Structure 1
Amino acid sequence: MIGDPGQDSPSIGIVLVNWNGWRDTVECLESLLRCPHRSWFAVCVDNGSADGSTERIEAYCAGDLPATSPFFEYDPSTKPVAFMRVSGRDALSRARTGLPVPDRSVVVIENEANLGFAEANNQGTRFAMAARSPEFCLFLNNDTVVDPDLLSEFVQAAARHPGTGFFGPKTYYYDHGGRRDVINFAGGSLDLVRGRTLHIGQNEVDLGQHDREREVDWVEGSCLLARSRLLDEIGLLDPFYFAYFEENDLILRGRRAGAGAVYVPRARLWHKVSASSRRSPTKLYYLTRNRLWFVRRFATRNELARFYAWFFGYRLWFLLGVYLVRYLSRPSAGALLRGARDGLGPLPDRPAT
């Protein structure tokens, strides 16, 4: 384990989004408390949960509700954890007026409704930057478990790549048939002609074949470290995506500003892939619509023409056949068609940050 970098090390504002998933959230927080890098604080944005998430996260921070995980033993010595809860309506104003947010503390922002993944992350990021002005912001899915050295490895990689804006870890499946060494993500490649954001190394057993730190097209939003000054320059996640493709959009904006993404294999975490959003018509709708929006925003004319020919000449009809014939799911087929229709509509203007 990497040694404690000390109190003068770069500060990291960690943003998590919770929606009826307090068990995942407290497991994630417990894994963060095992990190020797101590200059961090967590902002957990609750998206209108109905399961008492805020109260349970507060009980965990007080030491009254142990976290459970197959990855580690619960450590009561790290409790209590400084805890604050603020309403979504006045969170930013409270951050700007000096709400104290110490290291290794947890702030829960309570929203009355589900703002979507992108806007909830933005809300947490605005709060973090107003409250502490951290050098880095880490977008972290609440259904993850981090390796103790993840934060330290990220900070060291950022020092090695001062011109890079984004950093991502080697991500494993939380449980892949009882194994914890199966890779879900080892950096990403991008194919705008197919509208595909590809996972390098996906479903491979980790034998060290993806241990080289390198620049990649994109890194996944489940664990995405960003320099705060770059976010100030290019803006935050586009909330019109609601969910899916928002991190790809952000990273391509960063690349156009001259700041790319680096895959950091020594930073590791385990992800309960799609734990918060199983395959559903809603997910299919957003994936389809957002794929079209994303390609239209970033592809060249030639790439866009080739994408349209592939998607509307083949892919759309293939997927309709799959959902109607194989799965007998008319709701899924309808969601696919609505997503394609809306993806061809006017592109939303980017919001002011």
Structure 2
Amino acid sequence: MVNYNGHKDTIECVTSLRKINYSNYKIIIVDNSSSDSSGEILKRKLSHCKIIESKKNLGFAGGNNLGIKYALDNKADYVLLLNNDTLVEANFLNNMINSFNVDNRIGLVGCKIMYYPQKNIIWYGGGCIDWFRFIGDHYGMKEIDQGQCDREKEIDFMTGCCMLIKREVFEKAGLLSGDYFMYFEDVDFCVKVKNTGYKIWYNPKAIIYHKVGFSSGGEESPFSIEWGTRNRFIFMNKYKNNVTMFNFILSKIFFYSTRFIRYFQYILSRKKDKANAIIKGLRK
């Protein structure tokens, strides 16, 4: 997991991990050049974990890649990417590991993710890539859980909040793309996994809870808006050949028109910081 100025969340996450009923694992924490002494605090309070301190903030992809490389160098069979602002159920990892027995072509396994502390509301119940909007779409998001996302199945998109990945997938698909810094690297990685012939699998019996957006100020913080705008544009251009040229042009028109509408909505509601974040994202 990657930590940036969030040692309290990281410690709480590790506390929940130490209660799981799967024993053969090691915890690697990458401190992404925090400015709040997180590295020292984590080394002191989580001495049983491997703490890697990055000299600069490498973003989500870069931070995770440091941990992935360490895990692979130390002969890990699987690597679990887990957001530090999560809490886990005791059997989540057992259930995710068991999913690889369903089909030997499964290379990446995801889980069901609920909001925290609203544990009855779904944040992620499986997902797909929407090739018109060029985003990773969450099934069941913000819906009260009534079992609508409880079918185990193959999917196209798993959020980087929690991914369990076979070692061989990294050997064939590579690491997370460094193009994005924050957001969309998980969508990009899922495309690469599928393109190398592996399946992505959703297991709803594996459940975790997500303090959504804590590390970036919330789901609609200026930070999230800026980087989400910038990286969606990059993702669109990188994978434009996945759709016809006509559809890509329509997608671009939709993208710019919705950013334009959102910009004026923020201006009219006196949320200039969010309006400016859209402009910054388009300029990057």
Answer yes or no: same fold by TM over 0.5. Answer: yes
Larger Rg: 1
Q: What are the Cα deviations for residues 280-325 of structure 1, in whole angstroms up to 9, with x where unaligned?
A: 333222111110111222232233111012122x212111111211
Counterpart in the other structure of 2:106: 164
Alpha-carbon shift at residue 276 of structure 1 (Å): 0.6
For residue 231 of structure 1, report the CA deviation from its aligned partner.
0.8
In the alignment, the residues of structure 2 paired with residue 297 and residue 303 of structure 1 have an alpha-carbon distance, to the nearest angstrom, of 15
- CA distance in 2 between counterparts of 1:338 and 1:328 reads 15
Residues paired across the two proteins, number: 279
- Structure 1 residue 334: Cα displacement: 3.0
- Per the TM alignment, residue 221 of structure 1 is displaced from its structure 2 partner at its CA by 0.5
Aligned position for 1:125: 68
CA RMSD, Structure 1 to Structure 2 (Å):
1.5
Q: What is aligned with 1:199? A: 138
Match of 1:148 among 83, 90, 103: 90
8 Å contact kept, 2:216–2:223? no
User: Residue 277 of structure 1: CA displacement?
Assistant: 0.5
Aligned pairs for 1:216-227 (under 5 A) are 216-227=155-166
Report if the CA contact (8 A) 2:3-2:31 is conserved: yes
User: One-letter code of the match for 1:20?
Assistant: N
- Partners of 1:193 and 1:307 within 8 A in 2: yes
What letter corresponds to residue 136 of structure 1 in structure 2? Y
Q: Which amino acid aligns with 2:275?
A: A
Equivalent residues of 1:186, 1:199 under 8 A apart: yes
Residue 326 of structure 1 deviates from its aligned partner by: 1.4
**1:168 is paired with a residue of what secondary structure?**
strand
CA distance in 1, matches of 2:130, 2:278: 21
1:333 CA displacement = 2.5
| Aligned counterpart, 2:224 | 283
Amino acid corresponding to residue 7 of structure 2 in structure 1? W
Match of residue 248 from structure 2: 304
User: Which of 27, 49, 52 lines up with 1:106 in the alignment?
Assistant: 49
Q: 1:326 aligns with which of 259, 262, 269?
A: 269
Matches for 1:249-268 after TM superposition, within 5 Å: 249-268=188-207
Q: Secondary structure at the match of 1:23?
A: helix
Residue-by-residue CA offset, 1:101-128 (whole Å, 9 max, x unaligned) = xxxx411111232111110000111111
State the match for 2:128 in structure 1. Answer: 189
Deviations 1:48-105 (A, max 9, x none): 12323233323333xxxxxxxxxxxxxxxxxxxxx3xxxxxxxxxxxxxxxxxxxxx4
Provide the rounded CA distance (Å) in 1 between the counterparts of 2:80 and 2:247: 32
- Matched position secondary structure for 1:159: coil
How far 1:133 sits from its partner (Å)?
Answer: 1.6
Kept in 2: contact 1:251–1:260 (CA 8 A)? no
Q: Are residues 307 and 32 of structure 1, via their aligned partners in 2, closer, same or farther at CA, if it must alter by over 3 Å?
A: same
Paired residue type of 2:108: F
Cα distance, 1:160 vs structure 2: 1.2
Give me the identity figure in percent: 33
The SS at the match of 2:250 is helix
TM-score w.r.t. the length of structure 2 is 0.93
Unaligned runs of 5+ in 2: none
Per the alignment, residue 38 of structure 1 pairs with 23
Q: 2:81–2:162: 8 Å Cα contact kept in structure 1?
A: yes
TM-score by length of 1: 0.76
- Tell me how far 1:24 sits from its aligned partner: 0.7
Structure 1 alignment gaps of length 5 or more: 1-15, 62-82, 84-104, 343-353
Counterparts of 1:160 and 1:327, CA distance in 2: 52
* 2:277 matched residue in structure 1: 335
